[in-house]
A and B are shown apart, each in its own frame.
Chain A
Amino acid sequence: MRGMKPELDDASRRDRIIAALLRRGTWCASFLIAAGMLWSMAWPSVAVRAGLDGYGLMRGGVALFILLPVARVAVMLAVFVRERDRAYTLISALVLAVIATGLAIGLLL
């Protein structure tokens, strides 16, 4: 089948990579939050070390959820670069730049 419909095959491969990333990421983040909640309920004041306690796990899960869509854009950027698709390389880079600007505003203002 090689060379049959290269564009469609590339696109469906790309979509499957993104789907796998989002599915696994959602599982990981949900697991971290669930573990953090259970830990906080069971042993409210127990920490393995600074930052590693129920609250820390939950915070990690929340941070992972925020990172997940950003990672998805980064993966798309990488795919478009590989496909030498200049227009969409530029567009995905622009989305990442806007998100980075938002983070800078959050930190500085």
Chain B
Amino acid sequence: MPALWLFIAAFGASALGGTLGMASGIFIVPLLTLFFGIDIHAAIGASLISVIACSCGSAAPFLEGRLTNVRLAILLETATTLGAVAGVLMIGRISTAFLFGLFAVILAVSARQMLSRRQEVVDWSAANVKSWATALRLHSSFRDRASGGSVAYQVHRVPLGLGLMFGAGLISALLGIGSGVLKIPAMDTALRLPIKVSSATSNFMIGVTAAASAGAYFVRGDIDIRIAGPVALGSVVGALLGARVLIGLPAAKLRVFFVIILTLLAVEMLLNAFGIRILGCAA
């Protein structure tokens, strides 16, 4: 019963990823191509659906907690969706080997990111009165649970943020990932958002970004429902239940475990780019 195995694999990836606040998207494509022998384009389509499902399924608490900066999200979504549409135009012209290679690079970058903890680089300097962020009323505040008070923050360097988001949208459409790996640093270092706001807003945007490319692949008939359905369901259930079940696992050891897994997958995807298969079936 392959559908059940797909469900279980996606559930496991999502549950484990969720313990470290990671999106499972980055594991889905390697899992499907390396272990299930699924064509990379079908894997990308299925992964996009699971990315949308996880983004939509986890958005509500962040919105109700007023952590998501909705105005900033919709503004940046103009860039991420444009990037996604550019990806849709490009994917037919890109070789499978290149996609595997690019995926290997993204996995390696994720492993590197996992090693270094995110630094809070909030810039408290008053924003330029003439800046985009001021004109578009992007500065906001969130309620800090620890202190119970309201923390105001400023948004910086919006044009740079938009540029980086275009790239994130492009990578998302090409590889079927949420590109959180690119979005979060863009939001931390370019826009200088508090980490909680950055995570919530990035997660919120991922759904629309992935829907822009997934919609195009869906109407083109490039999404294999028998793969995408079970994978999306497994991911969303894993994200909701997994984080609760696995909450007691030691975060430091998990972090090392993930770095190893990400590195191994990067090597394996790179080998695939050169046509060398070690794992999985050659179906």
Contact = CB atoms under 8 A, between A and B. Distances in A.
Contacts of A26: 53, 56-57, 236
Contact of A66 (B3, B52, B89): B52
Interface residues of A, number: 50
Contacts of A14: 70
B176 to A, nearest CB: 13
A12 B219 CA distance: 35
A55 B226 contact: yes
Interface in B195-225: 207-208, 210-220, 223, 225
A50 interface: no
A59 B225 contact: yes
B108 interface: no
Nearest to A80: B74
Contact of B56 (A62, A69, A92, A106): A69
Main secondary structure of the interface of B (DSSP, over half): helix
B226 A58 contact: yes
Contacts of A12: 66
Interface string B42-76: 00000001001101110111011010101100110
Interface string A58-101: 11011101111110110010000000000110011011001101
Interface string B80-93: 01101100110000
A18 B53 CA distance: 15
A25 B7 contact: no
Contacts of B188: none
Interface centre among A16, A95, A107 (most CB of B within 10 A): A95
A88 B138 CA distance: 11
A26 B57 CA distance: 6
Given A11-B70, A19-B63, A99 B211 contact: yes
Main secondary structure of the interface of A (DSSP, over half): helix
Contact of B220 (A61, A94, A106): A106
Contact of A25 (B56, B217, B233): B56
B283 interface: no
Nearest to A107: B219
A106 B219 contact: yes
Contacts of B66: 12, 15
A62 B232 contact: yes
B208 A70 contact: yes
Contacts of A40: 3
Interface in A20-76: 20, 22-23, 25-26, 29-30, 33-34, 36-37, 40-41, 55, 58-59, 61-63, 65-70, 72-73, 76
Contact of B218 (A36, A62, A69): A62
A106 B85 CA distance: 9
A12 B63 CA distance: 8
A95 B84 contact: no
B64 A62 contact: no
B136 to A, nearest CB: 6
B117 to A, nearest CB: 29
Given A34-B233, A101-B85, A106-B220, 10 more contacts: A15-B64, A33-B233, A37-B233, A66-B211, A69-B207, A95-B81, A99-B208, A102-B84, A102-B88, A103-B219
